[in-house]
A and B are shown apart, each in its own frame.
Chain A
Amino acid sequence: MIDQIRAKARELLESGQVSCVIGYEEGTRGRVRPAFIYKPEDVDRLVWNERCIHNLVVYLRQFARPLKRGEEPPRVAILVKPCDSRSLNVLLQEKQVERERVYVIGLACEGMRVDGQLQERCQRCEDRIPLVYDLLVGEKPQTVGHEDYADVEELERMSPRERLDFWLRELDRCILCYACRQACPACYCSECVAEQLDPLWMGIAIDLPRKWFFHTMRAYHLAGRCAGCNACEQVCPMDIPLSLIYRKLVKEVETLFSYKAGLDAETPSPLATFEKGEELPL
């Protein structure tokens, strides 16, 4: 697969079709990291393996503006896994990315591993090939995961007091570093509510009430938009189980509106629309 990726990257750069290929490369200490290839001779830096955990779609916003004043915004190529492709669809639907400016190299994926262990989110994954691509690399894997929301339901079965205690305990070690927000492709507000001081929403204090507010607020802003890529939980330095919040919302949006974000680039989020005369169980 990697030869095909490199060959395509070389072709795209040499022909001038794109200015940059966003992919993965080997980093230090056995880690893989995002790579930005600008020259054809550098394409051999690109790798593709089970350690390519990052969602690269988050980098598309930095290429939405021209690299030099007076020029057009650059065209880029990007490598996407199935989960990443769903978040790309969300950005396309919200008109944050122009489809013509992105060449999508879709990767068939058998799951990512950390220390040899298949990641939990990959065990649940129901899409094994990307939902949007210009070039599909790899064969569709036979094994498919299944999302049954078991851990979300376990939390739902607790009493409100138990749930509050659970979240206060988990969020206590949050340091409000905002890595989850920065890694999320859907969080592209130029000024986040968390940082607004006028009007004042959260304020600067790094304490439990504000940690609770931030995560609940961010979750609400992602309702109907979260594609379930799990980048947030991955980057958290304190291993806070953020996917428990976001998958709850994905579940509720699916139950209430039969909608899942990222399946295509046309259907808008149910929170941006409504049906006349509808009645919802509040």
Chain B
Amino acid sequence: MATDFEPRIVGFLCRWCSYAGADLAGTSRIGYPSNPRIIRVPCSGRVDPLLVLKAFLDGADGVMVLGCHPGECHYLEGNYHAQRRYAIMHRLLEYMGIERERLLIDWVSASEGKRFAEIVEEFTAKVKELGPLEGRLIDRSNPS
């Protein structure tokens, strides 16, 4: 694959923990790849797995869903729901032909700026290695 392939990554970050962690990475001047388009949501429990599917459908090569550590959710339970949903969605996505490494679910607290940067670095590298999803699933083929 082309070495200049820059993966398009969508990141759903929860406002209270992971987004704050991303902010901290920024204010601490910790560099990380600029690939992720970050979407702030109130809670990882708000991230409907369909949004992940839609991200892949619309051209994302990788998707991250980052929330608070289990037990520390600002809304108490949101990330437990997310955990169950993504346990299923991960396996379903893999079964339907999208490599499981393209979807990252992780927990990042507001104080983990450095860890956030590391996660993004690692994920971007991984997706870059996997190559673009576009072309296999996304190109709209006209039947006639």
- Which residues on A are within 8 Å of B, measured CB to CB? 155-156, 160-161, 163-168, 193, 201-202, 205, 207-210, 212-213, 215-217, 219-220, 223-224, 245, 248-249, 252-253, 256-257, 270-271, 274-282
Contact = CB atoms under 8 A, between A and B. Distances in A.
Contact of A271 (B50, B84, B96, B97): B84
B70 A279 contact: yes
B97 A163 contact: yes
A201 B50 contact: yes
Given A271-B85, A280-B87, A216 B93 contact: yes
Query: Interface residues of A: mostly helix, strand, loop or mixed?
Result: helix
A129 to B, nearest CB: 30
Nearest to A223: B88
B115 interface: no
Q: How large is the interface on B (under 10, 10 to 19, 20 to 34, 35 or more residues)?
A: 35 or more
Given A201-B54, A276-B80, A281-B87, A219 B141 contact: no
B141 A277 contact: no
Contact of A164 (B92, B97, B141): B97
Contacts of B137: 164, 168, 208-209, 212
9 contacts: A163-B95, A167-B96, A202-B57, A209-B140, A245-B95, A245-B96, A252-B88, A270-B84, A271-B84
Interface of B: 49-50, 53-54, 57, 70-71, 77, 80-81, 83-100, 105, 136-143
Nearest to A215: B96
User: DSSP class of B's interface residues: helix, strand, loop or mixed?
Assistant: helix
Contacts, number: 107
Contact of A208 (B49, B53, B141): B141
A142 to B, nearest CB: 35
Contact of A213 (B57, B85, B91): B57
Contacts of B71: 276-277
A105 B80 CA distance: 40
A242 to B, nearest CB: 12
A277 B90 CA distance: 20
From A155, A220, A276, A277, name the one whose CB has the most chain B CB atoms within 10 angstroms: A220
A212 B96 contact: yes
A270 B105 CA distance: 19
Given A161-B97, A207-B141, A216-B53, 14 more contacts: A163-B96, A164-B97, A164-B137, A166-B97, A205-B140, A207-B140, A208-B140, A212-B137, A215-B96, A216-B93, A224-B88, A270-B84, A271-B84, A274-B77
Contact of A248 (B80, B92, B136): B92
A182 to B, nearest CB: 20
What 10 A-B pairs have minimum CB-CB distances, sorted nearest first? A164-B97, A274-B80, A280-B87, A163-B97, A160-B99, A223-B88, A216-B96, A252-B91, A282-B105, A213-B57
B80 A278 contact: yes
B84 A164 contact: no
B90 A282 contact: yes
B92 A249 contact: yes
- Most chain-A Cβ atoms within 10 A of its Cβ — which of B85, B91, B93, B100? B91
A223 B91 CA distance: 11
